[in-house]
């Protein structure tokens, strides 16, 4: 296992190091220490070779890297994203050019520019399908997603994570939006890290609740009132992003939470209330990883095919103990997830009978006490608190 040395650890490492072997150097300008590094003992076998990722090398180390089995990953230029991420995204970075009074300014932001490099758009800027990427572009995206995962692992170390899943198309004015926000706020105040898919709808509601955790209770009512205004109630309305940004500015010093969105669904902008954003190109990495990091449970609010997929993907992780533990799964809204069929076997509205199958899977593999279906927000909190990994 190679030791990773980056901007945060280089100064300490260089003071005590005596060898340049088995090290991954990342995001460093090594030119000033060129001769000093060259005097260190170098790798003698391919297995010991150093890896230089996004580093600037002086002439001596460039030469020695070529002799001593070094691997150099140069800067990948000409892209609207940096493949070798050394931190998670923030709303300020993704929405770097956004102005709430000018909704169209989103098209000037890093988030849109990256999405636009991923898709074909028509003359009006509307997505028309995905670009067939060249081999070098695919490599750059995979590297980007790898380093996002590495940064996410570091960010989550030692944290108790509860994830919220739910429909991206739910309106901010819907009662369940406020319910999810209030639950997330409660858990954030108890020291849990709230994580979501980072998108709009009920994912935004959970990030909003965590964002407002440091503020008085009445802030939630004021925030939802400011968000659920005309032309801003749903993510596909023109003022959705503007209303979110104005709410961020109205309640500064918001609480911490995580969003894990994807440019695969880039037509749904990430919400602005997650303090840290692990955004991926590859949706399959993101889906599996988001559920895996939810060490202390997942709350599934009403949703459509994507949420149903997440329920059984999480159920599969618990069934096979993929990540060595079986954490809570709570289906929120009993009428939605455990509906009674009519005489012809049909279910009202968009209700989906996921609960009977999930309960059966849990009974087969001994995690029945880890699953629940309820319409009571207080019961959701009790179920999370009762879990001891």
CATH number at residue 252: 3.40.50.450
202: which 2 tokens?
Answer: 């009920």
Q: Judge if 68 and 172 occupy the same domain.
A: no
Q: Give residue-wise pLDDT tens across range 252-262.
A: 999 999 999 99
288: which 2 tokens?
Answer: 């599996």
Whole-angstrom distance, CA of residue 327 vs CA of residue 157: 17
**Selection from 155, 177, 161 nearest residue 328 by Cα:** 161
C-alpha neighbours within 13 Å on the C-beta side of residue 128: 7
Partners of 280 in the beta sheet?
Answer: 262
Q: Domain boundary residue among 31, 52, 73?
A: 73
Partners of 156 in the beta sheet?
Answer: none
Q: Judge if 68 and 179 occupy the same domain.
A: no
In this prediction the pTM is 0.94
Q: Domain boundary residue among 73, 103, 128?
A: 73
Cβ(283)–Cβ(316) below 8 Å: no
Q: What is the pLDDT of residue 267?
A: 82
Q: Give residue-wise pLDDT tens across range 246-298.
A: 999 999 999 999 999 999 888 889 999 999 999 999 988 888 888 899 999 99
**Residue 320 falls inside a structural domain:** yes
58: which 2 tokens?
Answer: 């002086």
Whole-angstrom distance, CA of residue 132 vs CA of residue 117: 11
SS3 call for 35: helix
Q: What are phi and psi for residue 102, nearest 5 degrees?
A: -130, 80
Q: What is the pLDDT of residue 115?
A: 92
**Selection from 337, 322, 327, 343 nearest residue 373 by Cα:** 337
Whole-angstrom distance, CA of residue 198 vs CA of residue 293: 14
**Residue 112 falls inside a structural domain:** no
**Residue 89 falls inside a structural domain:** no
Q: Judge if 56 and 167 occupy the same domain.
A: no
Whole-angstrom distance, CA of residue 195 vs CA of residue 274: 8
**Residue 60 falls inside a structural domain:** yes
Q: What is the pLDDT of residue 1?
A: 87
**Residue 84 falls inside a structural domain:** no
**Residue 103 falls inside a structural domain:** no
365: which 2 tokens?
Answer: 């593999």
Q: What is the pLDDT of residue 130?
A: 77
**Residue 91 falls inside a structural domain:** no
Whole-angstrom distance, CA of residue 35 vs CA of residue 242: 52
Q: What is the pLDDT of residue 125?
A: 63
Q: Judge if 231 and 373 occupy the same domain.
A: yes
Q: DSSP of 101-135, one letter per residue?
A: TBGGGGGGSHHHHHHHTTEEE-TTS-EEEE----H
Q: Judge if 65 and 200 occupy the same domain.
A: no
- Domain range for 36 is 3-73
Residues sharing a CB contact under 8 Å with residue 386, sequence separation 6 or more, in sequence order: none
Cβ(313)–Cβ(285) below 8 Å: no
Q: Domain boundary residue among 55, 73, 91?
A: 73
Whole-angstrom distance, CA of residue 204 vs CA of residue 198: 7
**Type and span of the H or E element at 374:** strand 371-374
Q: Judge if 170 and 66 occupy the same domain.
A: no
Q: Which residue has the tokens 């959970």?
A: 206
Q: Judge if 313 and 211 occupy the same domain.
A: yes
Whole-angstrom distance, CA of residue 40 vs CA of residue 53: 19
Q: Judge if 244 and 361 occupy the same domain.
A: yes
Q: What is the pLDDT of residue 64?
A: 97
Cβ(152)–Cβ(289) below 8 Å: yes
**Residue 150 falls inside a structural domain:** no
Q: What is the pLDDT of residue 118?
A: 82
- Integer-rounded Cα radius of gyration of the chain: 23
**Selection from 378, 182, 382, 208 nearest residue 297 by Cα:** 382
Domain count along the chain: 2
Cβ(279)–Cβ(290) below 8 Å: no
Q: Judge if 32 and 165 occupy the same domain.
A: no
Mean pLDDT for each consecutive 10-residue tract of the chain (389 residues)? 93 95 96 97 97 96 97 92 95 98 96 89 71 88 95 96 97 98 98 98 98 98 97 97 97 97 90 98 86 95 96 96 94 97 92 97 96 98 95
Q: What are phi and psi for residue 214, nearest 5 degrees?
A: -75, -10
Cβ(88)–Cβ(261) below 8 Å: no
Q: Which residue has the tokens 């030119």?
A: 31
Cα angle value 155/156/161 (rounded, 5°): 140
């Amino acid at each position: 296992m190679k030791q990773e040395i980056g901007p945060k650890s280089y100064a300490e490492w260089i003071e005590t190091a005596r060898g340049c072997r088995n090290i991954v150097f990342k995001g460093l300008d090594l030119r000033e220490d060129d001769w000093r590094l060259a005097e260190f003992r170098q790798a003698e076998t391919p297995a010991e070779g150093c890896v230089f990722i996004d580093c600037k090398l002086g002439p001596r180390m460039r030469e020695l890297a070529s002799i001593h089995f070094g691997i150099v990953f140069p800067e990948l230029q000409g892209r609207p994203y940096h493949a070798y991420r050394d931190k998670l995204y923030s709303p300020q970075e993704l929405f770097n050019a956004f102005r709430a009074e000018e909704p169209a300014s989103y098209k000037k932001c890093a988030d849109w520019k990256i999405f636009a490099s991923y898709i074909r758009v028509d003359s009006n800027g509307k997505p028309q399908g995905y670009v067939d990427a060249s081999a070098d572009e695919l490599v750059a995206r995979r590297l980007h997603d790898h380093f996002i995962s590495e940064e996410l692992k570091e960010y989550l170390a030692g944290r108790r994570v509860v994830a919220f899943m739910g429909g991206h198309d739910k309106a901010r004015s819907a009662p369940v939006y406020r319910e999810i926000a209030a639950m997330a706020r409660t858990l954030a105040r108890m020291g849990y890290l709230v994580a979501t898919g980072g998108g709009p709808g009920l994912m935004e509601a959970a990030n909003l609740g965590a964002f407002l955790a440091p503020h008085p209770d009445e802030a939630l009512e004021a925030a939802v009132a400011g968000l659920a205004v005309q032309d801003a109630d749903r993510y596909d309305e023109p003022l959705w992003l503007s209303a979110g940004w104005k709410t961020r500015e109205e309640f500064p010093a918001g609480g911490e939470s995580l969003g894990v969105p994807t440019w695969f669904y880039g037509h749904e902008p990430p919400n602005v209330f997650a303090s840290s954003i692990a955004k991926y190109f590859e949706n399959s990495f993101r889906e599996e990883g988001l559920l895996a990091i939810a060490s202390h449970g997942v709350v599934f609010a009403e949703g459509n095919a994507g949420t149903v997929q997440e329920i059984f993907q999480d159920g599969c992780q618990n069934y096979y103990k993929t990540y060595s533990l079986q954490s809570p799964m709570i289906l929120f809204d009993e009428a939605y997830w455990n509906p009674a069929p009519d005489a012809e076997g049909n279910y009202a509205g968009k209700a989906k009978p996921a609960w009977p199958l999930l309960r059966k899977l849990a009974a087969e593999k001994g995690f029945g006490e880890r699953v629940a279906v309820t319409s009571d927000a207080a019961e959701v909190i009790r179920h999370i608190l009762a879990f001891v990994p």
